[in-house]
Structure 1
């Protein structure tokens, strides 16, 4: 599938995203999936590994493993179920970004995680040199445009 997607023109793939397989796979299976995709696409596409969990230490561990595997970036979802305050989100994402040399994409999906990243928190996180993108699944174009500005 990965090779087919790249052959069809995709230049980047996310492995172990949050809505798909990652909540039900072991760490070993996550690593195997990343390795299989990297092998299938070679240098024809960037591969981003989903490393988000509701446990900061576990997310950091997954980030370090993914970096050693050779991915090009990381996707980190807001911690789900435990609904941290904004300061907790700031610390969670900062710990992940500080643990690796890879670019980190935040994934703000409050409908699944139970907590949004407030615009003010997003602006603070954007100061981190390795936090480079936000996948915003809130659907609030007004807030998104304010954050971009």
Structure 2
């Protein structure tokens, strides 16, 4: 690609900061073709890096959402696969792109699930705090009413 390793790292961080999702193995980014194209776009654009990164994040989200609409039409039998090397290459390219889009979607879904779990835990904690506050307020109100009744009796 003609991009130095530190620059790839910097571009990756800029993309992630703007919401781009990479496949990861621990802390290591795993680059698929669309990621490489994003890095090249960052390198070649005249716009500020963050502006270009936001555009690339938008494109990634569009690609992931669009992958839900793509249908794969490959025959079920091995004998019906194309024998022409160029056709095989196209089929494999298509499958690689579909796999990359599926992986990107899985990463996004995993992140969404983590965020949902965190939100549910916070809601449960908030519910507990609110319930406790209501219970304490009710006890104080009852105690106040009891004192007023005793005073008036």
- Which protein, 1 or 2, shows the higher relative CO under an 8 Å CA cutoff with sep ≥ 6? 2
Could you tell me the TM-score, scaled by structure 2's length? Answer: 0.22
More helix by share: 2
More strand by share: 1
Which protein is bigger by CA-based radius of gyration? 2
